[in-house]
Amino acid sequence: MSVLRRLRRHRELIGLWLLAVLFATACVFLGRWQLHRFQDKHAKAELVARNHAAPVVPLAQLLATPTSPLRPGDRYRAITVQGTYDAAGTRLVRNRPHRGDAADASFGYEIVVPLVLPDGSALLVDRGWVPNGTSGNAPGGRPDAVPAPPTGTVTVVARLRASEPARGRDLPAGQLASLSVPQIARSTGHRVYQAYGALVTESPTTPDAPAPVDPVRPDGGQGINASYAVQWAVFALLGLGFPIWVIRRRREAAADDADQGTTTPPDELGSPAVAVTSRRGPAATTSGSRPTPRTRRHHVWDDEDE
């Protein structure tokens, strides 16, 4: 039998194997994606926990100069620094969520003020959150009140965070759609550090200080992602095992048909049919009588094998 005829005869099985391999490959990619999500969430949770437990250090220990990049492993570290707030450089970041102890987030503004250091450089400090108020959520609106920062020399403890991507939106002067450090630096004219600080404490304090910004919460659902990764691996194995199951079912059906046995039809001369002997023994027939043939079970693959 030629190779082409063999392929035609078994084209259904070949197609089944190709489908199984494609299905298993898709499951592997989906499983890897879920595994990477689990690893990313787990790494971030460990980073947040480790850096929140780390001691407070001077700003220069983590960022030697304003041009020094914030290392990923130093995010959320607490630093201390002294300087003077530039109240005229205050910027409002719109549409910022604030949960507090509530189940659903409220939206408002975060107040970002440059803290000018003795050498003339500045660290942007996110002093906290204020609600929208009566018109703050309207286009061109602003909160009812913006608390002023302390005057004079201030000692600040803040957690370093990376700059957010800039969002080019047409907003009123002094307002931004994201906390983009370069964007604020251009608008204020200060030589700022390449990260900003989320305020923890400041001394001296003010009686009308804004609410603290929400702490960083690692993404939940790590266990769910790990479970999904395992499930996709199981699905891949089941997909590869499906053609094997089909082959076994065919062999069992073929063996069952052979055990049942069949009879040949009468010849053209009208002579009696000859019983076909099966493995269970000769068929019981009488001379001159025509045995009733058994109905052979039909399978979906018979048409292609014939």
Cα–Cα distance, 203 to 91 (Å, whole number): 21
- Domain edges within the chain: 1-54+219-261+298-306, 77-203
The predicted pLDDT at position 8 comes to 64
The predicted pLDDT at position 261 comes to 64
The predicted pLDDT at position 38 comes to 86
Is the model's pTM score more than 0.85?
A: no
Reference 93, options 234, 219, 6, 213; nearest CA is 213
Query: Which 3-state string (H, E, C) describes the chain?
Result: CCHHHHHHHCHHHHHHHHHHHHHHHHHHHHHHHHHHHHHHHHHHHHHHHHHHHCCCEEHHHHCCCCCCCCCHHHCCCEEEEEEEECHHHCEEEEEEEECCCCCCCEEEEEEEEEEECCCCCEEEEEEEEEECCCCCCCCCCCCCCCCCCCCCEEEEEEEEEECCCCCCCCCCCCEECCCCHHHHHHHHCCCEEEEEEEEEEEECCCCCCCECCCCCCCCCCHHHHHHHHHHHHHHHHHHHHHHHHHHHHHHHHHHHHHHHCCCCCCCCCCCCCCCCCECCECCCCCCCCCCCCCCCCCCCCHHHHC
The predicted pLDDT at position 293 comes to 55
Pairing of strands 106-116, 91-98: antiparallel
Block residue for tokens 């002094």 = 174
The predicted pLDDT at position 3 comes to 62
Query: Exposed, middle or buried, 189 (CB in 10 Å: 0-12/13-18/19+)?
Result: exposed
The predicted pLDDT at position 104 comes to 65
The predicted pLDDT at position 269 comes to 40
The predicted pLDDT at position 287 comes to 45
| Residues 258-295 as b or e (16 or more Cβ within 10 Å = b) | eeebebeeeeeeeeebebeebeeeebeeeeeeebeeee
The predicted pLDDT at position 155 comes to 97
Profile the chain (306 residues) by mean pLDDT over runs of 10 residues. 62 81 90 86 85 93 94 94 95 86 74 96 96 80 89 96 86 90 92 95 92 79 78 88 81 78 47 45 48 53 48
